[in-house]
Chain A
């Protein structure tokens, strides 16, 4: 059986505070007629919860995926019953009795579906001559659209310089959104994202025009690079394609060369919009020293896998997306399940961290966020700073929640602090103090 979740992990998947507190209220033996842990695959926690009706609710939780099933009418995922059950499991209050038939059935159903999905993936895609032709036609069509979009973006950027940047800090979102929408239509979602992000740069206060000019310039370089993509070295061409918005299918990534290592999870951050939650998990190979970024996505409100939390490590194969400075990766084969860290984080000084960043930029100039772990002290103030052990200081990003928790945990003593570097500053994500990892 896999390692139990911690209370934090259970808390993290609650869809909203009211479900969370209702779930806590259900985490008591008196509420449950029966409950147990069943070894899978997939490993499953199940329970029978007294409800307001005469029939108790049946709950199953696949703690690997994770996936939830409850016979209650709630549309929340997970519902309070599943949360209550998980809280009890986290507290070590669930034994391993023989599972009843309905549980066995559910597990078997899930295992079957998983096997089918696996089989589908393994089968080489059948392709007839006609299908191949159609695919080639679609690719050519997309190529044309993207090329047109890139040209439009280039001209638009030139236009901005012609009309002058003055006033763009008050331009409002519609100024950027129209172009972004056209770039989505042109099937260049990467460019569309960059253009939307410009709105934030323009309204970032003092010095905005300088930052905006930098972004404009880098985007113009990207359009120029795409226009000449055939002349670029293949890894750089891959980077350019990914920044424009071409995605490599995950099967293809997973078929690439694996990098096996014990990967330390350094930090994790969720970004939400109205439709999607995107989770960034930053890793670093203990032996290879390679940084990696694992993204996961879920529909808004749905839970994301929580097993790669800061403070754990996982021995696994990582497969990197192609590029000149590969960072984004997929987790392939897991050789061991995630476990608590068995060695310390590798932390550097600011200067060494920035050297590595500069090397990465030299290969791929359009890198946005870059992971860094610096040994130092977070100092509150205006602005907040992180001072490394050599006495070098860097300001933290403004406008985010002040990291008092990290400050409290470290107590003003130098400790490895992980975070994301971007041109607007450093955003700390976690600190490791006395074998414990504390997240911001």
Chain B
């Protein structure tokens, strides 16, 4: 039968205009459907149809035998039905990341996992939204790790949970990059010198991607003992490796690298009655070796760019003799045209070293605020807040709220973004009072998107048990406000939408009960 079929197939492919169609006498035992194919197109097609039917009817599976290992039977429990339904909705269509994050937190806090059927959609989302990954990993469960191991795009789910036996170095010898990194991290955590020794052993023969992945592991337990190794890495062929090495050396107190940077910075920035600036004339080889980039970003001057990088990599302690506090130093008269560059560099240093005193002084100096501020300075200023301790942040917010003049909405939003959530009760009360005052002024007029964003931030940080008092506040606004020609006033509509936001979060909590 196969013979007849392949004869028909090749004849049909060439065409009877060019090749003779086969005359086939079919053995009855071979095929009961056709007995003879004469050399016409119709006959060939009818035979092909009959054979196709026979082939379709005779379709059979391939004995394959091997079933891959199933997912482990034991796993974390799943949340109650309403919470599972909620996740379905959250993952369907346009994902609401704020609420999805809350769902994942609620599940992770309770030691629950996402239902198996939702895992693919969740993994696909977290594949692009990296911020969701740690929580996704937390709720993946055994089923999730089993599933992720079968699809390379999801390997990050399984990798984070690598269990390392530091005594058994087969993982270091034979494992994947992620497994080897995990192994190195574990060894370094137990014994910093042993970790570095492991790295030194293999360093000359590792490919660049491996070197770039392994070197950051040294940040944990970093000391002067690592200095020689890191100095050597400044001469690495791979740029990423050199950058990591420079970062490590900048953090290492007393390192030669720090001394080089201090020397450069102090020669460019000179103290006196005012701060004099003598920016570098060139970006020489030794500067480039220490990670200073020669080419400035678009719009920046070369010399200012070199100066900024050097000062940003210099320990802030180098400036202590300029004045008695960061605030004093920032307040000093500075060579015209150089203040912004200098403050930006100090801000970068404050963020890098998490120096709260400098950060607060920079915020108070007004760095990165105002109409003319460039976007990257605004972003840098926001990250200064992340350096401040929670109590300081709450305190600053309270001061902004109780000031006689109304606070700048942007500044309030920036500090709130860094404040601990849910808001401590005192802060929550002050924020709701502020919200109420602002909303009363809105009434019929236009609600600015800026205020809307701030209001949403305020509500998103409220503890969910604030729902009753918030509902009462909404009703209060409703009673006070006069409906306009187009139905509810702007104020009431804003409060309604905020209430809905809060009640969704409240409901989500209850769904996990």
- Do A and B interact? yes
A residues with CB within 8 A of B? 6-8, 11, 14, 17-18, 20-21, 24-25, 28, 30-31, 50-54, 154, 157-159, 161-166, 209-210, 213-221, 224, 350-351, 354, 357-358, 361-362, 365, 377, 379-380, 385, 387-388, 391-394, 404-405, 407-409, 411-413, 423, 438
Q: What 1/0 flags go to B236-258 for Cβ under 8 Å of A?
A: 00000000000000000000000
Contacting A28 at CB < 8 Å: which of B13, B40, B53, B504? B504
Contacts of B9 in A (CB 8 A): 209-210, 213
| B150 within 8 A of partner (CB) | yes
Contacts of B47 in A (CB 8 A): 217
Please choose the segment from B57-65, B327-335, B395-403, B440-448 that sits at the chain A interface, where 4 or more of its residues have CB less than 8 A away: B57-65
In the bound complex, do residue B67 and residue A377 qualify as a contact, i.e. CB atoms below 8 Å apart?
yes
In the bound complex, do residue A161 and residue B69 qualify as a contact, i.e. CB atoms below 8 Å apart?
no
In the bound complex, do residue B45 and residue A408 qualify as a contact, i.e. CB atoms below 8 Å apart?
no
Contacts of B53 in A (CB 8 A): 218, 221, 361, 365
Q: Assuming the A-B contacts A157-B45, A220-B42, are A387 and B496 also in contact, with contact meaning beta carbons closer than 8 angstroms in the complex?
A: no
Q: Assuming the A-B contacts A166-B14, A408-B119, are A380 and B150 also in contact, with contact meaning beta carbons closer than 8 angstroms in the complex?
A: yes
Contacting A209 at CB < 8 Å: which of B12, B44, B57, B67? B12
| B336 within 8 A of partner (CB) | no
**In the bound complex, what is the Cα–Cα distance between A188 and B54 (angstroms)?**
26
Q: Assuming the A-B contacts A50-B487, A209-B13, A221-B49, are A405 and B41 also in contact, with contact meaning beta carbons closer than 8 angstroms in the complex?
A: no
Q: Can you sample 7 A-B contacts with CB below 8 Å?
A: A161-B16, A164-B18, A215-B52, A217-B46, A350-B60, A354-B59, A405-B121
Specify the chain A residue showing the minimal Cβ separation from B45.
Answer: A220
Contacts of B65 in A (CB 8 A): 391
In the bound complex, do residue B45 and residue A158 qualify as a contact, i.e. CB atoms below 8 Å apart?
yes
In the bound complex, do residue B62 and residue A394 qualify as a contact, i.e. CB atoms below 8 Å apart?
yes
In the bound complex, do residue B52 and residue A362 qualify as a contact, i.e. CB atoms below 8 Å apart?
no
| B376 within 8 A of partner (CB) | no
Contacts of A387 in B (CB 8 A): 64, 67
Q: Which of B470-493 contact A (CB under 8 A)?
A: 474, 483, 485-488
**In the bound complex, what is the Cα–Cα distance between A413 and B121 (angstroms)?**
21
* Supplied contacts A14-B93, A404-B151, 20 more A-B pairs, CB within 8 Å: A21-B93, A28-B503, A31-B500, A50-B488, A52-B487, A53-B486, A159-B41, A162-B15, A163-B17, A164-B14, A165-B15, A214-B48, A220-B49, A358-B58, A377-B67, A405-B121, A408-B116, A408-B143, A412-B69, A423-B59
| B92 within 8 A of partner (CB) | yes
In the bound complex, do residue A350 and residue B92 qualify as a contact, i.e. CB atoms below 8 Å apart?
no
Q: Which of B20-43 contact A (CB under 8 A)?
A: 21, 40-42
In the bound complex, do residue B13 and residue A393 qualify as a contact, i.e. CB atoms below 8 Å apart?
no
In the bound complex, do residue A161 and residue B41 qualify as a contact, i.e. CB atoms below 8 Å apart?
yes
| B194 within 8 A of partner (CB) | no
| B146 within 8 A of partner (CB) | yes
Contacts of B485 in A (CB 8 A): 54
Question: Smallest distance from the beta carbon of B40 to chain A beta carbons, Å?
Answer: 8
In the bound complex, do residue A411 and residue B45 qualify as a contact, i.e. CB atoms below 8 Å apart?
no
In the bound complex, do residue A412 and residue B487 qualify as a contact, i.e. CB atoms below 8 Å apart?
no
Question: Smallest distance from the beta carbon of B290 to chain A beta carbons, Å?
Answer: 48
Contacts of B93 in A (CB 8 A): 11, 14, 17, 20-21
| B117 within 8 A of partner (CB) | yes
In the bound complex, do residue A412 and residue B70 qualify as a contact, i.e. CB atoms below 8 Å apart?
yes
In the bound complex, do residue A362 and residue B49 qualify as a contact, i.e. CB atoms below 8 Å apart?
no
Specify the chain B residue showing the minimal Cβ separation from A367.
Answer: B56
Contacts of B143 in A (CB 8 A): 408, 411
| B107 within 8 A of partner (CB) | no
Contacts of A351 in B (CB 8 A): 60-61
In the bound complex, do residue B89 and residue A413 qualify as a contact, i.e. CB atoms below 8 Å apart?
no
- Chain A interface mostly helix, strand, loop or mixed? helix
Q: Assuming the A-B contacts A31-B496, A166-B15, A408-B143, are A393 and B62 also in contact, with contact meaning beta carbons closer than 8 angstroms in the complex?
A: yes
Q: What 1/0 flags go to B109-120 for Cβ under 8 Å of A?
A: 000000011011
| B8 within 8 A of partner (CB) | yes
**In the bound complex, what is the Cα–Cα distance between A175 and B44 (angstroms)?**
22
**In the bound complex, what is the Cα–Cα distance between A163 and B88 (angstroms)?**
54
Q: For B93, B117, B499, which residue has the most chain A Cβ atoms within 10 angstroms?
A: B117
Specify the chain B residue showing the minimal Cβ separation from A411.
Answer: B71
Specify the chain B residue showing the minimal Cβ separation from A20.
Answer: B93
Question: Smallest distance from the beta carbon of A301 to chain B beta carbons, Å?
Answer: 16
In the bound complex, do residue A162 and residue B45 qualify as a contact, i.e. CB atoms below 8 Å apart?
no
Question: Smallest distance from the beta carbon of A158 to chain B beta carbons, Å?
Answer: 4
In the bound complex, do residue A163 and residue B147 qualify as a contact, i.e. CB atoms below 8 Å apart?
no
Contacts of A21 in B (CB 8 A): 93-94, 96
Q: Assuming the A-B contacts A30-B500, A164-B18, are A221 and B68 also in contact, with contact meaning beta carbons closer than 8 angstroms in the complex?
A: no
| B55 within 8 A of partner (CB) | yes
Q: Which 7 A-B pairs have the closest CB atoms?
A: A164-B15, A217-B49, A217-B48, A393-B64, A412-B70, A214-B52, A392-B61
Q: For A28, A158, A161, A411, which residue has the most chain B Cβ atoms within 10 angstroms?
A: A161
In the bound complex, do residue B42 and residue A158 qualify as a contact, i.e. CB atoms below 8 Å apart?
yes
Contacting A220 at CB < 8 Å: which of B46, B61, B500? B46
Contacts of A20 in B (CB 8 A): 92-94
In the bound complex, do residue A164 and residue B88 qualify as a contact, i.e. CB atoms below 8 Å apart?
no
Contacting A7 at CB < 8 Å: which of B46, B89, B119, B496? B89
| B361 within 8 A of partner (CB) | no
Contacts of A6 in B (CB 8 A): 85
In the bound complex, do residue B60 and residue A354 qualify as a contact, i.e. CB atoms below 8 Å apart?
yes
Specify the chain B residue showing the minimal Cβ separation from A377.
Answer: B67
Specify the chain B residue showing the minimal Cβ separation from A355.
Answer: B57
In the bound complex, do residue A361 and residue B56 qualify as a contact, i.e. CB atoms below 8 Å apart?
yes
| B50 within 8 A of partner (CB) | yes
Specify the chain A residue showing the minimal Cβ separation from B488.
Answer: A50
In the bound complex, do residue A354 and residue B486 qualify as a contact, i.e. CB atoms below 8 Å apart?
no
**In the bound complex, what is the Cα–Cα distance between A388 and B65 (angstroms)?**
9
Specify the chain A residue showing the minimal Cβ separation from B96.
Answer: A21
Specify the chain B residue showing the minimal Cβ separation from A362.
Answer: B57
| B342 within 8 A of partner (CB) | no
Q: Assuming the A-B contacts A7-B88, A54-B485, are A161 and B57 also in contact, with contact meaning beta carbons closer than 8 angstroms in the complex?
A: no
Contacting B120 at CB < 8 Å: which of A25, A52, A216, A408? A408
Contacts of B496 in A (CB 8 A): 30-31
Specify the chain B residue showing the minimal Cβ separation from A8.
Answer: B88
**In the bound complex, what is the Cα–Cα distance between A50 and B492 (angstroms)?**
12
Question: Smallest distance from the beta carbon of B475 to chain A beta carbons, Å?
Answer: 10
In the bound complex, do residue B117 and residue A165 qualify as a contact, i.e. CB atoms below 8 Å apart?
no
Contacts of A411 in B (CB 8 A): 70-71, 116, 143, 146-147
Contacting A213 at CB < 8 Å: which of B52, B60, B69? B52
Contacting A380 at CB < 8 Å: which of B14, B21, B89, B151? B151
In the bound complex, do residue B15 and residue A17 qualify as a contact, i.e. CB atoms below 8 Å apart?
no
Contacts of B119 in A (CB 8 A): 408
In the bound complex, do residue B57 and residue A358 qualify as a contact, i.e. CB atoms below 8 Å apart?
yes
Contacts of B48 in A (CB 8 A): 213-214, 216-217, 220
Contacts of B116 in A (CB 8 A): 408-409, 411
| B51 within 8 A of partner (CB) | yes
